[in-house]
Homo-oligomer: A and B are copies of this chain.
Amino acid sequence: MTHSQARERTAAELARVGIVLTPAERESIEIADFGLGDFERAGLAIVVYVNTERVCAKELVLLPRQTCPEHRHPPVDGEPGKEETFRCRDGSVHLHVEGNEEIVLQPGDQFTIPPDTLHWFEAGDAGAIMSEFSTRSTDENDVFTDPRITR
């Protein structure tokens, strides 16, 4: 799957569940493969609605069984790390959070991940669409467990 195909698939999935994007948003969908070069296994597609100094909101779209690798959001410049709430909109997500049993999110379910807490997630067999509500997002500060990963 090329990045262009992944972008088209993401826009189609969001349209299927009634999420409307502007043309500019459709063109700027981020196809993240974490530098591992195996998007269909480890990756996700991201629409950033807003990312100010204080607030960030995104949609995350995952292929069936696609995985976002383990990482955490450490404190930066004296501020606590990024705090994230994931809310499942469609499909399902298996969420793994340091100190918790596996959490399965179905549509309408959500979970808030505290700052600086290791987490990773995998879409179920039908893929997943998740909304993310968080503090400011700064990929360059994320700490991944797999040392091969770059953001």
State the CA gap A109–B133 with chains docked (Å): 18
State the CA gap A24–B20 with chains docked (Å): 27
Tell yes or no: A17 within 8 A of B by CB. yes
Q: Are A18 and B20 in contact (CB under 8 A)?
A: no
Interface residues of A in 90-105 (CB under 8 A from B): 90
Q: Are A55 and B135 in contact (CB under 8 A)?
A: yes
Q: Are B108 and A50 in contact (CB under 8 A)?
A: no
Residue on B nearest A107 in the bound complex, by CB = B20
Residue on B nearest A22 in the bound complex, by CB = B108
Number of copies: 2
A83 CB contact (under 8 Å) in B21, B55, B112: B55
Mask of A1-35 contacts with B, CB within 8 angstroms, 1/0: 00000000000000001111110010000000000
**Could you tell me which A residues sit within 8 Å of B by CB distance?**
17-22, 25, 49-50, 52, 54-57, 83, 85, 87, 89-90, 107-110, 112, 131, 133-135
What is the distance, in angstroms, from A90's C-beta to the closest C-beta of chain B? 8
Q: Are B109 and A22 in contact (CB under 8 A)?
A: yes
Q: A25-B108, A49-B85 are in contact. List 20 more A-B contacts (CB 8 A).
A: A17-B18, A18-B19, A18-B90, A19-B89, A21-B108, A22-B109, A49-B87, A49-B133, A50-B87, A50-B110, A50-B112, A50-B133, A52-B112, A54-B83, A55-B83, A55-B135, A56-B133, A57-B85, A57-B87, A57-B131
